[in-house]
Amino acid sequence: MNLKQNKLGHSDLSVSEIGFGCMSIGTEEKQAVSLLHEALDLGINFLDTSDLYDAGRNEELVGKAIKGRRSDVILATKVGNRRVPGQEGWVWDASKDYILSAVKDSLHRLGTDYIDLYQLHGGTLDDPIDDTIEAFEQLKREGVIRYYGISSIRPNVVREYVSRSSIVSVMSQYSIFDRRPEEDIIPQLQSKGIGMLARGPVASGLLTDRGENKLAKGYLGYDESQLRDFRSGIEQASDRPMLETALRYPLASSTVSCVLAGASSSEQLRANIDAVSASALSEAELEAIRSVVPANQYTQHR
């Protein structure tokens, strides 16, 4: 299948309109590798992982899946969450020294000598931001990474990297139920030609055809009855399957290069690809969707 590809911001990376969020593949090797091979065979070329997922196991599985196919893949991983031996969980570390050492471990697990897109996995205003940027710039000069970006939902952190670094992308949560980036993050990126990687497009499964069963837990401060009203409004606004509407919505913004969706089965993977392969939402559909689901706003980290 020929999935449409978009340039990632001002980089020369061409990424499939839908990328694979690899966190969902599990830890069983045969199943995970088979699923990733199927994704690549179906035209997905953007794989997103992190050294954090399953304590590095996810990177190992992605590495096994891309063996012999490295040149077909735009490989993205993330850094910043450091495990302390003998301690539960992890600590945040955006220092230059840590990034320069962590990348070696990621390369080893991924079985490659370069990363296409290396992303800071979070970030705060208390970080040594100039040192963080210098670490990425050094890795770029050395050819260890091709480009770098940041994964963040904090507009004030995004603003620092947009103005001070040469990031090519920002990964942020964006869906019909989470329209916050439209007001703050997307305009920042547009002004500098930076691409957005939209994660969480189905809002924890609420925007799928079976999502009605999950509404009781609420989402981003919305309660069950609000979400139920939104869903029925979306169904009236667009005569498409819910998954299709959900995955096409972020791609209506020219700033969004790729929408990220996870899958833990072949059926899910194929459903995601079919949905994103549909025609773009029309202006009338977009207008109708936006009239039934309000644009929420960032209240923190402004």
Catalytic residue IDs: 53
Count of beta carbons in the 10 Å neighbourhood of residue 200: 21
Q: CB under 8 Å to 68, separation ≥6 — which residues?
A: none
CA atoms within 13 A on the CB side of 205: 12
d(CA 237, CA 110): 43
Angle of helix 242-251 relative to helix 283-292, nearest 10 degrees, comes to 100
- Name the nearest CA neighbour of 169 among 56, 296, 259: 259
d(CA 122, CA 223): 27
Write down the H helix ranges in 126-282.
Answer: 129-141, 155-164, 180-183, 185-192, 224-237, 242-251, 266-276
d(CA 15, CA 37): 17
Q: CB under 8 Å to 21, separation ≥6 — which residues?
A: 48, 199, 260, 261, 262
d(CA 251, CA 198): 8
Residue 59 parent element (H or E)? helix 57-66
